[in-house]
Amino acid sequence: MKRSEEIILDQSAAPAFSADQKTHLGSLPLSSRLSPALSGEVDLPGDKSVSHRALIFGALAVGETRIEGLLEGDDVLATARALRAYGVEVVRDGPGAWRVWGTGIGGFEEPTSELDLGNAGTAVRLLMGVAAHYPFASFFTGDASLRSRPMSRATKPLIEMGARVTARSGCRLPLALTGSAQLVPITYTLPIASAQVKSALLLAGLAAPGETSVIEPSPSRDHSERMLRYFGAEIGVADDSTGARIITLTGQPELAGRDLSVPADISSAAFPLAAALIVPDSQVLLRNVGVNPLRTGLLDCVREMGGDIKLQNARDMSGEPVADIAVVASTLRGIDVPTARVPRMIDEYPILAILAACANGQSRLRGLDELRHKESDRFASILVGLSAAGVSVSTVGDDILINGKGAPPSGGAKIESYFDHRIAMAFVVLGLACPEGMVIDNGAPIATSFPDFVDLMNGLGARIENA
């Protein structure tokens, strides 16, 4: 067996960013201190994945779509701006209440300038699928983090369907995509499960005649499939004996504008949930959280770790399962998280790593290669941050091994967020349970997904302040 590699705390382990990235977001150092028990009931921000899709599918439907609970984070606002650039009327009526006047498939206008999607990987990949409908060029760009992320995984199938792409080397943004009025429907097997790529293909398939099929090696979040059905498209889903999932969309449907409510984001709920587990004597209720089974891998992990969580009041919200989650502080044990769980909790590894650091015994988080391609190289960001906080961590190939001592580490470190909202929030949460707290160099990126994070957490009793 390969020996585990010790983490060497030098700059080569850390994700690299340019000076441009460092200035783009501004700087908001945060400190979090050992907190008293957290308690209370909270409503959390809307689901980011569902919010992007609500705006985009609303824009492609015919007539008015009214949305409640839309996430007003920077990423989703970037999607709204891009849709406006395509000539779609998108209006904010009040907090979380938005209206979109859909043009129908084929009704977008050519944008007069480039589309800057900021930090939003989901927005750029989904909108490339829509841009493939049109024989004009759409010019996509974003911040330094987004410009460093690979786009070929989404452009490859779109090119097969008839789009043309010119991009910077490595198929990175800025990127121009010229679509086609005669898109060809294809059957495409995804090399890696990815909801963003699957959704880009399905969105392109809306304009193609006949059936577009996507085969996923294992199921990724299915918000697009659910929402397509909700807006009136015909879409079939079948699982084969290997665990692969085949999604088949009948092209050129007439989508009809709908009213929809966005559930709270389980990927944001994960932070108060974890904080309530590790801050002694806490008791918290998280309301209206989306519990789509393809998003709840973290809940499975927490149960295996011995965490006290209960789902209550289960119901449906615009085609998505929703529940309230009751959390009670718990003694946690280390677990072995299989690679097969990655697609169901891809965004939750930073906060799972924090739970593992506070648990008793070793946790092994397997198969994390995809974390290297997120808002930061999360594989590296997790290792560097945990080591700095005094946690013993190591790696074997794509697995991270975390040795919990049955109590939070001492903390007392200043760590970098690497301009990654989920890295920032994860380490802020850790500081709430550490005797010496934690300092995070920059909490500004938190606004991409959870603009009220600090106030909401402090409302529960957390001690987070500007450092």
Site for ligand S3P, rule CB under 6 A: 49, 122, 194-197, 199, 220-221, 346-347, 370
| Cβ 265 to ligand S3P shortest distance, Å | 10
Q: Give the position of tokens 């988080």.
A: 365
| Cβ 397 to ligand S3P shortest distance, Å | 19
**Measured between alpha carbons, how far is 234 from 230 in angstroms, rounded to an integer?**
10
| Cβ 46 to ligand S3P shortest distance, Å | 13
Short-list 38, 5, 20, 14, CA closest to 432: 38
| Cβ 95 to ligand S3P shortest distance, Å | 22
Question: Kind of pairing, strands 259-261 and 62-68?
Answer: parallel
**Measured between alpha carbons, how far is 19 from 36 in angstroms, rounded to an integer?**
38
| Cβ 216 to ligand S3P shortest distance, Å | 10
Q: Which residue, 180 or 381, has its beta carbon nearer to ligand S3P?
A: 381
Q: Which residue, 148 or 199, has its beta carbon nearer to ligand S3P?
A: 199
Choosing from 75, 116, 265, 347, the catalytic residue is 347
DSSP classification of residue 371: G
**Measured between alpha carbons, how far is 194 from 190 in angstroms, rounded to an integer?**
8
Edge-to-edge strand list for the sheet holding 172-178: 115-116, 137-141, 172-178, 164-168
Short-list 18, 82, 5, CA closest to 376: 18
Q: Which residue, 220 or 395, has its beta carbon nearer to ligand S3P?
A: 220
| Cβ 463 to ligand S3P shortest distance, Å | 28
Hey, what amino acid is at 3?
R
Alpha carbon of 89 to those of 74, 211, 261, 463: distances in Å? 19, 30, 19, 41
Alpha carbon 192 to its chain's center: 16
| Cβ 226 to ligand S3P shortest distance, Å | 12
Confirm if 403 and 392 have CB atoms less than 8 A apart.
yes
Q: Which residue, 196 or 282, has its beta carbon nearer to ligand S3P?
A: 196
Q: Which residue, 320 or 439, has its beta carbon nearer to ligand S3P?
A: 320
**Measured between alpha carbons, how far is 308 from 352 in angstroms, rounded to an integer?**
15
H or E segment to which residue 87 belongs: none
User: C-alpha angle with apex 346: 192 to 301, nearest 5 degrees?
Assistant: 125
Written in H, E and C, the secondary structure of 309-332 is EEEEEEEEECCEEEEEEEEECCCC
Q: Which residue, 299 or 389, has its beta carbon nearer to ligand S3P?
A: 299
Cα-Cα end-to-end distance for the chain: 44
Q: Which residue, 114 or 347, has its beta carbon nearer to ligand S3P?
A: 347
Question: Kind of pairing, strands 308-317 and 336-337?
Answer: unpaired
43 labelled catalytic: no
| Cβ 343 to ligand S3P shortest distance, Å | 6
Alpha carbon of 144 to those of 23, 26, 125, 172, 380: distances in Å? 10, 13, 16, 11, 18
DSSP classification of residue 333: B
Q: Which residue, 193 or 433, has its beta carbon nearer to ligand S3P?
A: 193
Catalytic residues: 347
